[in-house]
Amino acid sequence: MRTVLAVACMLAAALGSAQAPKDSKPDGREALKQVDLEFGRAAARDGLAGWLAYHAADSVIFPTGGPIVAGLDAIKALYARSGFTPAGLSWTPAGAELAASGELGYTYGTWEWRGTDRDGRPAVERGKYLTVWRRQADGGWKLAADIGNTDAPRPASTP
């Protein structure tokens, strides 16, 4: 929970006002949502390679039940160990915000995973996510930080 609060505080400080910059195009937030959708299409089309293509070299992820993982090489190593693949994962951005500078933004929304459980039965999980994006020198966007969690209730014994 502290990690989520820290990310939220960093975003609030970096983004300042939630209003679109006066000199930006009115569709800047929609354009960022489109980048998020392109990320999803690349992951669906190209699997893990498409997923990783949208990560900055210094990106950070916040895996459930584990420590923060920083840097693309460390993220790749985690995915290799865990067998992570974006197969069956889709998401829908609900909103986006852009910093006044136009260099940083975030998208948030809901995700759904469809696959099979450990016993081979069809399974569905749903949740929500927050992705921080940083504009690159070429004008494109790369994922700087990403966190998601499931909508499933916590077990009663979990604090």
The answer to whether 128 and 109 have CB atoms below 8 angstroms apart is: yes
In the three-class reduction of DSSP (H, G, I as helix; E, B as strand; rest coil), residue 156 is classed as: coil
The pLDDT confidence band at residue 142, using thresholds 50, 70 and 90, is very high
The span from the CA of 134 to the CA of 55, in Å, is: 10
Domain ranges of the chain: 2-14+26-150
Residues 101-120: tens digit of each pLDDT = 999 999 999 999 999 988 99
Give residue 152's pLDDT.
83
- Top CATH class of 2-14+26-150 equals alpha beta
| Residue 29 · residue 95 · CB < 8 Å | yes
What lies within 8 Å, CB to CB, of 133 at 6+ separation is 32, 35, 36, 104, 105, 106, 107, 141, 142, 143, 144
- pLDDT bin (cut points 50, 70, 90) of residue 153 is confident
pLDDT, tens digit, 9 for 90 and up, residues 26-77: 578 999 999 999 999 999 999 999 999 999 999 999 999 999 999 999 999 9
